[in-house]
Structure 1
Amino acid sequence: MAVTDHTPPQISAMPGARALGAISRQEPLRLRFQANWKVRVMMFRLLGAAMILSSAGLWLVQGAGADPELNLIRFGVSIAFLLAGVVLMTAHEPAARPEACFDPVRRELRVLKHDAQGSPRTVLRRSYDSLGAARLTGNAVQLFEDDGSLLIELPLDSAATRGQLRDQLSGAVKILT
């Protein structure tokens, strides 16, 4: 009777899909809450530039310089447009946005918000088991409570992030189509 060796063969390299799955289960996945600030900032800057130009344009209107009382009003409106335009031109993206962290080790979702000193503070902590369901769309993930109400919706920046999140949540959370 021959004795066979039942030890599994050594695998020299993991295939690509398995490697990606292993990485997504080991490292926390962080998503930021974000509005479309690039478009908002661009719109603020365009409106600011228009207001600055209109503050100067008030003085280029012909025939409006005859009345000294109207010149005083025009001067006040011009200064107001100039200041409002400068404020709109210097608008920038806020830095204190919350951040969602999907932790595969602890199998939980944490929402972190940075305080005035820049240190993160946990404002929401939920285990994957306590979530009702998740829906992954092309550009967002929606997490639902057990009763079906929406808990949180987060933007996704790429298909790779969506795949990593699907790998993390599969088995622990019901994934809706």
Structure 2
Amino acid sequence: MKTKTIEGLNIEDCRVLKEIFIIGDRNFGESTIGQIFYKRKINENYNFIKQKEYDERKENTLLEKLLEGYPKQENYPNDELDDLILSGIKQQYPKSKIKNSLILFNIDLENLEILKNQNRFPSKFYITPVINNMSDFFMYSGKSFESPELDLNIFSNYSNIFMENHSFSFHYDIENNNLKTLLSTIEFE
């Protein structure tokens, strides 16, 4: 019998893993045609407060937690950036879904490497500002704004012809000064 040593990661290495399933229509129905993985660091603004509140108001048995999944998917941290990324993918693939998991142990990192053991297709995420109040558009005349471009990979078992040169985009409110800070918290695989 072979045994494996499971080690807890240092607190600064713990992450929430976001796995986006790109779901498209194929010849015989819909299927997952690719996956995008990214990690987010847990901190005071990106945390499990919803799960803590859920745990405090309801007494769950261990069996209930195992059956429901723990932490519950809806209680994982989620912010504006997560919503923008998923909405950018849903523009092309509206049936796409996201699954959350934790990276707390060395085995979690090994499992991620196994999940990524597919064809890898480099992609881009283009992020452009949008003016939400057109009555004040003259305020922006002559000014410059950042339009970040993120590199990411799509992992798929399909051929490279299908996934070649894929790109996604989303728009952010031109007044959002927090976007650059949020973008620095994301780690695409």
The TM-score normalised by the length of structure 2 is: 0.24
More strand, by proportion: 2
**Higher RCO (CA-CA < 8 Å; seq separation 6+):** 2
